[in-house]
Amino acid sequence: MDTPLMDEDADLTHMVGGAPSALADNQSVSPVAALPEVLCKRYKVERLLGVGGMGAVYRARDLLREQYGDPEPYVALKALNEEFAQYPDASALLYSEFALTSRLRNSNVIRLYAFDIDPPSQRAFMTMELLKGPTLDQLLAERPDGLPWVECQSIAIPLLEALECSHNLGVLHGDLKPSNVMLAANGLRLFDYGLGQPTKGLLTSLPRLSRSRIAAWTPRYAALELLNGEALAAPADIYAVACVLYELSSGHHPFSRLTARQAKAMEQDKSLRCPANLPPHCWPALQRALAFDPEQRDIDASGLLDAYRAPEPSLFGRMFGRKRG
Amino acid sequence: MAPGRSWRSAGRTDTGKVRARNEDAFLAQPEKRFWAVADGMGGHQNGALASRLIVEHLAELPHRDDVDQRVKDVRRCLHLLNRRLTQELTVTAEQPDPVIGSTVVVLLIEGDHAVCLWAGDSRCYLWRGGTLFQLSRDHSFYEELIQEGRIAPAQAAQHPSARALTRAVGANETLTLDLVEFTVYPGDTLLLCSDGLYQEMSTDTIGRGLSQPSVRLALQQLFELALNGPARDNLSAVVIRQ
């Protein structure tokens, strides 16, 4: 483990206003080997694809598949960052993600291949399909005015289907956000169930990520109850997906990129309007999904899906329908 | 300049004598006339991951003949990574505001047209006709103090936050990249490097290193000199010549 000496702090690169971060707790951890270049004598790590708060995803070449002439012997490989890998139950944490995601057989949820531990380094990792295509954050960066309805609907429906399937099978995602959704060549994929949890009473023998020990979230997509330390439940995923859906239509986050706590304090929900690109018939559902209070967030993935699937009302219907805002 | 004349480069990164980990990364794609150095920052493995993420994403950019398009590609890539490392990063209650970022200096050349983009204090130098020019200006507190004219360089250097960065990929929600365009001539030698290489080295020493007959020898000399010194930080450099 890399424990910087105090006297080298002056040489650490750091930002104005921020001191070099120190280890928070090194009581119950043991040193961990760096991720080897080849894992299990089979997967050659080639490129870093993404970094999360707890893990990193790499592109790796599956040497076995290559040996058998597979023209596309590539996989995505996820390993925990060294900071987390050093905890004694880190492998169990990654296994929990593997077990939860493996339960989900849905064409819009990432397909996992295997969970394994590299014997020499004792590093746990899992392999999964390597996806090619932009993630939603990439798409949003290029489309600051949001997407027209038909395009938005073509993303919203498979995304909500993936979430509906997860919830129906008792799996909560826990960290839904634009960068965890990819528009792969053969369809949308929801991925990174690293903060996922089984619904209460389901999969009780599975190691659970203890939120009291590792409380984690992405600030702008975390529901108020998560920020307040409550356990993950389906409404938190609904809040997160609603933020993503709003962003797809408008090009910007519903609460000016504030956290739910900040937005609630500023009563931002009162000034929230239906994005211009979103048909008004979807707005009541989306607005309910964006409620700060989980009690008022009384809509599930199926309810949102119904709204997004519903045909636009006729002109007559629109004239006498609910007004925007 | 004869069109199509090829560029040569040599790059190297070293942990230095004090650090346990190397958080620097470099890119050398002379066939695409594309080079970069990134110096990561953050606790644990974060700095190393950030600089690697940047360099490996830049490496995958397609080659195009149009410089403006290439600059756009680089900008888009770095802005997206900045968004990932700020707005999209999963954080923990223990560390709600983690530092995971990196400086970056990028050089791309097409014909005799060169463009350098950067954020942070990794630098681009040009060695031309026996003179060393620093083409990039550090985004550091020290540099800001000097530019504002409020304080003399010697005083600024004593400021406890003198070396703290004011810009980097992953530091703020909005990334601002600086850019300098220039014409390259035969005989020019360019250097991209992290602060670990230049901080203990005078401009004369850097110039002497870059005047070596080949890019490999130049790089070797710069590293020998840096590693003979205290080498408290990671050090990385790419030397580029036609």
Beta-carbon contacts below 8 Å between A and B: 140
The CATH superfamily holding the domain A30-128 is Phosphorylase Kinase; domain 1 (3.30.200.20)
State yes or no: is A2 an active-site residue.
Answer: no
Please choose, from the candidates A74, A178, A170, A155, the residue with its C-alpha nearest in 3D space to the C-alpha of residue A108: A155
Query: Does residue B233 carry a pLDDT above 60?
Result: yes
Q: Which class is A136-320 in CATH? A: mainly alpha
For residues A238 and A300, the answer to whether their CB atoms sit within 8 Å is yes
pLDDT of res. A317: 59
Residue B123: pLDDT band with limits 50, 70, 90: very high
| 3 state SS of A41 | coil
Region A27-39 average pLDDT? 75
Query: Does residue B30 carry a pLDDT above 60?
Result: yes
Annotated catalytic residue, options A175, A192, A237, A300: A175
pLDDT of res. A29: 54
What confidence tens digit (pLDDT) does each residue in A222-259 have?
999 999 999 899 999 999 999 999 999 999 999 988 89
Instruction: Please tell me the total number of residues recorded for chain B in this structure.
Output: 242
pTM: 0.87
Contact flag A15-B20 (C-beta cutoff 8 Å): no
What confidence tens digit (pLDDT) does each residue in B57-91 have?
999 999 998 999 999 999 999 999 999 999 998 88
Residue position matching structure tokens 């900040």:
A262
- Find chain B residues with C-beta within 8 A of A13's C-beta: 23, 39-41, 47, 103, 120, 165, 168, 195
- Find chain B residues with C-beta within 8 A of A47's C-beta: 56, 59-60
What confidence tens digit (pLDDT) does each residue in A90-149 have?
888 899 899 999 989 899 999 999 999 999 999 999 999 999 999 999 999 999 999 999
What confidence tens digit (pLDDT) does each residue in A54-65 have?
789 999 999 999
Distance CA A265, CA A173 (A): 26
- Find chain A residues with C-beta within 8 A of B196's C-beta: 11
pLDDT of res. A3: 31
HEC sequence for A153-222? HHHHHHHHHHHHHHHHCCEECCCCCHHHEEEECCEEEECCCCCCEECCCCCCCCCCCCCCCCCEECHHHC
Q: How many Cβ atoms are within 10 Å of A173's Cβ, its own excluded?
A: 29
For residues B163 and B233, the answer to whether their CB atoms sit within 8 Å is no
Region A205-229 average pLDDT? 80
Residue A15: pLDDT band with limits 50, 70, 90: low
Choosing among A2, A3, A13, which should be mutated to test the B contact, i.e. which has the most B CBs within 10 A?
A13
Q: For B166, which of A4, A16, A51 is closest by C-beta distance?
A: A16
pLDDT of res. B163: 80
Residue of A nearest to B16 (CA): A11
Region B109-122 average pLDDT? 96
What confidence tens digit (pLDDT) does each residue in B139-175 have?
998 888 888 877 787 777 777 777 889 999 999 999 9
Domain ranges of chain B: 8-137+172-241
Distance CA A278, CA A281 (A): 8
Residue position matching structure tokens 């209650």:
B93
Query: Does residue B95 carry a pLDDT above 90?
Result: no
Question: What's at A71, amino acid-wise?
Answer: P
Distance CA B124, CA B191 (A): 6
Contact flag B88-A179 (C-beta cutoff 8 Å): yes
Domain ranges of chain A: 30-128, 136-320
Residues ≥6 apart with Cβ < 8 Å to B187:
B128, B129, B242
Look over chain A and give the mean of its residue pLDDT values, rounded to a whole number.
86
The ipTM is 0.85
Distance CA A259, CA B83 (A): 16
Q: What is the dihedral of CA A172, A178, A180, A182, to 10 degrees?
A: 120
Residue position matching structure tokens 């110096």:
B39
pLDDT of res. B61: 96
Please choose, from the candidates A152, A182, A167, the residue with its C-alpha nearest in 3D space to the C-alpha of residue A49: A182
Query: Does residue A19 carry a pLDDT above 70?
Result: no
For residues B110 and B128, the answer to whether their CB atoms sit within 8 Å is no
Task: Give the CATH architecture of domain B8-137+172-241.
Answer: 4-Layer Sandwich (3.60)
Residues ≥6 apart with Cβ < 8 Å to B173:
A257, B82, B83, B86, B87
Looking at per-residue confidence, does A292 or A318 come out higher?
A292
